[in-house]
Amino acid sequence: MKKITDDDLTLLYYGEHDDPSLAARVAGSDELSARFEALGEELARMEVLTPPERGDDYGAEVWRRIAPRLAEERTSSGWGWLTRLRAPRFSLAGAFSITLVFAVAFFLGREGALTGPAPVGTDSAQAAVLNDLDPAQLLATSVSRHLEQLNVTFTQFANSPDLSNGMADRAMDMLLANRLYRQAAESRGDRKLATFLGDLEPLLIELAHEAYKNSPATQNRMQQELKDSLLFRIRVMNKQLTDSQIST
Amino acid sequence: MKNSSQKTIRKAAAGDRLAFRELVLDNSHAMFRLAWRMTCDEAAAEDIVQEAFIKAWRSIGDFRMEASFRSWLHRITVNTAMDYLRKQSRRKQLEVEEPQWERVSQASEPARADVQIDIRTQTQAALLKLSEMERAALMLRHFEGHSIDEIASTLNLSANACKQTVFRAVKKMRIELQPLVAT
């Protein structure tokens, strides 16, 4: 008769043993019963591993935290706006400014995390000009200009019923610029500015991917969000950045 | 973990955020418990749950409706937890926690509550000594009631390799837990 190992008893304990006679053999033997009982007692000790309780609203809390991120994540290939996310569109008009933003972000970030070779499209004259500027001032000036553009586009979106005027393309350019400025602010340790720019991203993502299209409810929510707080915050931040430039 | 309806899963797979929200509400508690048992760390478990749902959202379009949604979510949670664990240097924490073994044995007449807390700490320490794979296999078998075949699929192992992983985990845990049985 085959010797019964502890592995056999483990499988029996978890109801996974494929020999139906094993349970009877264990029950009929004092030695096997004692071993099986010891195994059970030792594994039962794991029951003290009770996770900390979560409240009834834990699921809602998880949702609240992840919902903004879902907008920029992909799922099935059938989602039109997400397919476009894989092949971002850039308006021709935005191409030059994006190159400049790359250049600015590169120079701002080179003391921090954004290190590497100079971005393609940065000519030596541009590099020389950027090199002569104070990084803090350069960041403030660049972000201030970026916020002015955001203010115009967002105001237009918040007030206009007609949204078929290249809004998405502009928003995509601004989203990319916003991310680069946020990274530059992070790498320079300006957490307040980085957080502020991060707060703008969810709406820019929705705008860039036309989440408002065919959804009046989404459009209303986005417009309301702008009117309620974002436009005001953009103007306040822009004022602070402009004031900081004047004082330096 | 509640049994999320096929209809809700289908809708979420088609990109319905409200349906996905329902899945999040239904499954967050169970995913937290699993993530906590994998890490024994409350904050990490919360992060893992969120990250796992983001991953689930990314790939729910590829979910095969004939498969078990619960197992699918467990797989994502376990893989996310294993990624987390790999990034963490848990050994240092264990070295800090281990002296508490001595505290129990040296205490003359410890209060019952203290003993319970120490048993819990020691059991956690024992669990954290397992490899990530052993821990995942044991947690899925012992607490989640997954079959060996399901665990093998979750951990991308053959059934036999999975069985051996569970055996190793049980043996290691028994060695660690034996002294506690008499407590």
- Per-residue pLDDT tens for A86-122? 334 444 444 455 556 666 666 665 544 444 444 444 4
Structure confidence at residue B35 (pLDDT)? 95
Is the CB of residue A56 less than 8 Å away from at least one CB of chain B?
no
Structure confidence at residue B108 (pLDDT)? 44
Report how far residue A12's alpha carbon sits from residue A10's, in angstroms, rounded to the nearest whole number: 5
| Rounded (5°) CA angle A186-A190-A191 | 75
Is the CB of residue B45 less than 8 Å away from at least one CB of chain A?
yes
Structure confidence at residue B55 (pLDDT)? 92
B171/A6 Cβ within 8 A: yes
Q: What is the pTM of this model?
A: 0.54
Q: Among A43-47, A75-79, B71-75, B143-147, where is mean pLDDT lowest?
A: A75-79
Contact B154, B140 (CB under 8 A): yes
B59/A62 Cβ within 8 A: no
Report the percentage of chain A scoring pLDDT > 90: 19
| Average pLDDT of the segment spanning A120-149 | 70
Q: With contacts defined as CB-CB under 8 Å, which chain A residues touch B29?
A: 54, 58-59
Convert the pLDDT of each residue in A172-209 to its tens digit: 888 888 888 888 888 888 889 999 998 898 888 878 77
Angstroms from B29 CA to nearest CA on chain A:
7
B42/A66 Cβ within 8 A: no
Q: What residues of chain B, 57 to 76, have a C-beta less than 8 Å from chain A?
A: 57-62
Which of B33, B163, B180 comes nearest A45 by C-beta? Answer: B180
Convert the pLDDT of each residue in A12-41 to its tens digit: 999 988 888 888 899 999 999 999 999 998
Structure confidence at residue B166 (pLDDT)? 95
Tell me the ipTM for this assembly.
0.80
A188-221 as b/e: b if 16+ CB within 10 A: bebeebbebbbbbbbbbbbbbbbbbeeeeeebee
B173/A42 Cβ within 8 A: yes
User: Which positions of chain B have pLDDT values less than 70?
Assistant: 1-4, 89-117, 181-183
Could you tell me which of B76, B65, B62, B99 has the C-alpha nearest to residue B30? B76
Is the CB of residue B166 less than 8 Å away from at least one CB of chain A?
yes
